[in-house]
Amino acid sequence: MRWTSHAGLVTSLLIAAAVSLPGTIRAQDAAAARPLRLGTITFENSGAPEAQPAFDRGMLLMHSFEYGSAATAFREAQEADPDFAMAYWGEAMTYNHPVWMEQDRDAALEALRRFAPTPAERAERAGPAGGGTAREAVYMRAVDMLYGSGSESPTDKQARDDAYAEAMGDLHATYPDDEDAAAFHALALLGTAHEGRDFATYMKAAAILEEVVDANPDHPGIVHYLIHSYDDPIHAPLGLRAARAYSTIAPDAGHAQHMTSHIFVALGMWDDVVAANENAMRVVDAGRAKRGMGPGACGHYNYWLEYGYLQQGRPDDARRLVRECYDRVLESAGGDTPDPDNSPVGSFAQMLSRYVVDTGGAPTPALEWPIDLSAAPYAGITAAFARGFAAARAGDATALTAARAQLADARAALAAQSSSEAGDEAVEESSWAKRSRILGLELEALQLSLLGEDDAAIDIARRAAEMEEAMPFEFGPPFIDAPTHELLGHLLLAAGRADEAGEAYAKAVARTPNRVQAVRGLEAAGAETTAAGD
C-alpha cells in the first residue's frame, strides 16, 4: 500500500508524558505532550502506517540538520516496518552533512546493508519488485551514488558528491512535483562546492528552491537551504523572507532558530542575531533538560550569540558566555577539530579571541585562565592570536613576541598532525591553514607597528588582506578573527593616512556590513580626512 507522509505540526508525534490518572495528563507536563512543531512535508512512500510518525519526524528533523535525532527517528521507523526502504535510506542520509563537508561513510553503509547487502539488491527491494515504487528505487540508487557503495563507484568524496548531485538532478527532473526531490537536489549542489562558496553553484541551488517554495512555504528544507544559498553579504537581502519564515515553521528545532541568523549576520542586524540565537539556546537547553543535562555552554549558537552581544555593545553578557564555556572545558576531556563548534576547547579559544578583538583588546583575566592546548593546535593558534592581539593593544612588545612564538609552534604542530592525515599540499590549501597564515601575518604587522615601522606594518597587513580577499566568502562571524581590511584601516589611521584608511574600512564594511569596529573606523577616517582639509 502506498502512503503519503503529510506532517503538518507532526500531530501524531506526541512526546511521552507522565500521567497521574488514567487519561489525564498533569498540567506541568502539557508542554511536553504537545506535538513537535517542525514544519510540513508531503512525501509519498510505501512504508507501513505504523512507521509513518517516526519517518515523518526523521524527515523533518533531517531537513533542519538535527541529524542525530533524525537518525534515531528513522531507526524507530525501521523497527516498526523492517521492510521500509525509505527508513534505511533516511538513516543513511543523516550521515552526510553537505554544507559542512562532513560525512560518516561507514555508518551510512552499515545502515544501507541492514536493508540489503548490495546496491543492486537495495534498488530492487526498494522498487516495485520488493513492494516499493519506482521512485523509491531511484532514491535508493542515488544514495548509493553518494556513498560510492558499488564496485565501480568512485571512492573520492568530491567525485561521489558530484555524481550524487547529478543523480538528484535526474530524480528531480523525473518527479517535478516531488518537493523533497527539489530540496535534496539543491542541497546536493551546495555539497559540491568543495573549494568554498561558489556563487554560480549557490545561485543554481537557490533557483531550484525558489521554483518550489510557494508550493509549500512551510517546508523546512526548502527555506533552510534557501538561507544557505543566500548567506553572504551580497545575496543576503534575497534570503530575508526565508529567514523571517524559518523560525516560525520549525519552532521546536534549535537549528531552525539559529539558522535565521545566517542572514541577519550577513546584513548586520544585531538585535535579530541575538534574538535568534537566544531562541536557539532555549530550544537546545529544553532538550538537554529532558535528558537530564545542564545548559549548553560552548558551541555554534553560543559563539554567534556572543558575537551579537559584542556588536550590540554588551561586553558583560559576552564575557559571561566566555566564562561559561571555559567552565565546560574544565569538565570535558578536551579534543580538537578544524571546526571549533565540535570541540569545547576550540569553542572557548574562538569565543575568547572574538571577545578580545571585538572589545579592541580590552584587558580580560580570561587570557590568563589555565588551559592545556598541547594536543589542540587549532585552538592553540586561535588562543595565541588572542593573546598577541591583546598584547599589541596594550603596547606590550614582550608578550606579543611570546604570542607570535606560541602561534608558530601551534602552526607547526598542526602541519605535522594534518600532513600525516591529508598530505602537505592538501594541508597548505585548506581554509584553516590559510587562516593560520593570515593570523600570523596580522601579529607580525602589529609588532612592526609597535616598533614604529609603520610602512612595513602596512605592507604586511596589505598582504594579509590580499590573502583573505582571495578566499571564498565564509558565512557567520568573521572567519579571520580580526578582519584584515579592518586591521589595515587601524594601522593606516594610526600612521596618519586617513584617506587610505577610509578605503580599507569601506572594504571591511562591504565584507562585514554594519560591523561596529569597521563602521567606527570608517567614521574616524572620514573625520580625520575632513579635518585635514579644513
Q: What's 14's DSSP letter?
A: B
- Which residue from 233, 358, 289 is spatially nearest to 15, judged by alpha carbons? 289
pLDDT of amino acid 415: 85
Cell numbers placing 70: 533524525
User: Which residues have CB under 8 Å from 49's CB, separation 6+?
Assistant: 3
Query: Residue 349's beta-bridge partner residues?
Result: none
Q: Where do we find the cell 584601516?
A: 489
pLDDT of amino acid 11: 35
Side chain identity at 252, as an amino acid letter?
A: D
Quick check: 494 and 455 in contact, CB under 8 A? no
pLDDT of amino acid 334: 59
pLDDT of amino acid 17: 31
pLDDT tens sequence across 370-417? 988 888 899 999 999 999 999 999 999 999 999 999 999 999 988 887
In this structure, the number of other CB atoms found within 10 A of the CB of residue 362 comes to 13
pLDDT of amino acid 40: 94
pLDDT of amino acid 37: 93
CA dist., res. 81 & res. 317, Å (int): 49
pLDDT of amino acid 435: 95
* Per-residue pLDDT tens listing for the chain (534 residues): 445 555 544 433 333 333 223 333 333 344 445 678 999 999 999 999 999 999 999 999 999 999 999 999 999 999 999 999 999 999 999 999 999 999 999 999 999 999 999 999 999 999 999 999 999 999 999 999 999 986 566 678 999 999 999 999 999 999 999 999 999 999 999 999 998 899 999 999 999 999 999 999 999 999 999 999 999 999 999 999 999 999 999 999 999 999 999 999 999 999 999 999 999 999 999 989 988 988 999 999 999 999 999 999 999 999 999 999 999 999 876 566 777 878 899 999 999 999 999 999 988 999 999 988 888 899 999 999 999 999 999 999 999 999 999 999 999 988 887 655 554 445 557 888 999 999 999 999 999 999 999 999 999 999 999 999 999 989 999 999 999 999 999 999 999 999 999 999 999 999 999 999 999 999 999 988 787 766
- Which residue from 68, 86, 65 is spatially nearest to 77, judged by alpha carbons? 86
pLDDT of amino acid 24: 31
pLDDT of amino acid 418: 67
Alpha helices in 148-236 (DSSP H): 157-174, 179-190, 199-212, 220-230
Strand 19-21 to 41-45 pairing: unpaired
- Which residue from 458, 479, 468, 472 is spatially nearest to 507, judged by alpha carbons? 468
With b meaning 16 or more CB within 10 Å and e meaning fewer, what string describes 470-484?
A: ebebbbebbbbbbbb
CA dist., res. 85 & res. 395, Å (int): 65
Q: What's 355's DSSP letter?
A: H
What is the full DSSP assignment across 130-150? GTS-HHHHHHHHHHHHHHT-S
Q: What does each C-alpha distance from 414 to 60, 332, 360, 441 come to in angstroms? A: 38, 22, 28, 17
What is the full DSSP assignment across 327-351? HHHHHS-----SSGGG-HHHHHHHH
